[in-house]
Amino acid sequence: MNAETLLSLWKQRLGAVPESAFARTDLESLILADNDLTEIPERIGRLRALRTLDLGHNRLTQLPANLGDLSQLDFLYVHDNQLGDLPDTLSGLVRLRYLNVGDNPLGALPRAIAGMRGLIELRAENVQLAAVPDWIRGLSRLRWLHLRENRLTAVPDTIGSLSGLRLLDLRGNPLESLPETVGGLPHLEKLDLRWTPLAAADWMAELEARGCAVYR
């Protein structure tokens, strides 16, 4: 990516996306973070070359459905907004490698994420999450899963299907139990359980013995 295909409008108090941005159909990276944005026009769908889109730190309550038309996206940041869900059309972002939905009042992981089979990193911190859906097993390329500061008391056995997982961050959840399948994750390098009431288990010691850092 070069300077000609990058447009950074970070923290310019715009209030709205400038029309000139939608004319840049060659853009590969568009940074609109921290601009008091309350909506993203559907014209964003014209920017089919986008690989990085940063909409973090705004006041968005919804995203346009045609965001799912940006099939080349690798990185999508929508953290620190007021989103209650994601459009189902975002399930078409099968190339997406990084998604940050943290600090939104989602209440649950949006079903659209299940279609993002290319995800390598998912950040869903402080989204009022009470349960991890079983469909997460389909995100087979996940390496880093951040679920800090939610309402989780447990995670499903199916978390053990994420065989490539390197990091599982569960800090600040009211965890009562974790399945032994977590201990069977062959590539896990860090399991963060700080600020949880979870008691130690034998399989945690086994994880540490093989080199995984377990923080409690």
Mean per-residue pLDDT, 30-34: 98
Mean per-residue pLDDT, 70-98: 98
Q: Of 152, 105, 119, which Cα lies nearest the Cα of 133?
A: 152
1-108+116-123 sits in which CATH class?
A: alpha beta
pLDDT tens per residue, range 134-159: 999 999 999 999 999 999 999 999 99
For residue 196, is pLDDT > 70? yes
- The count of other CB atoms within 10 Å of the CB of residue 19 is 9
Domain ranges in the chain? 1-108+116-123, 129-216
pLDDT tens per residue, range 44-68: 999 999 999 999 999 999 999 999 9
Q: Which amino acid is at 87?
A: P
CA distances from 212 to 127, 201, 208 (A): 27, 14, 5
CATH classification code of 129-216 = 3.80.10.10
SS3 content of the chain, % helix, strand, coil (to 5): 25, 15, 65
Alpha-helical runs (H) found in the chain? 19-22, 202-209
d(CA 61, CA 47): 21
For residue 2, is pLDDT > 80? no
Mean per-residue pLDDT, 24-43: 97
d(CA 16, CA 161): 42
For residue 4, is pLDDT > 90? no
Tokens found for residue 56: 């973090």
Tokens found for residue 189: 């390098």
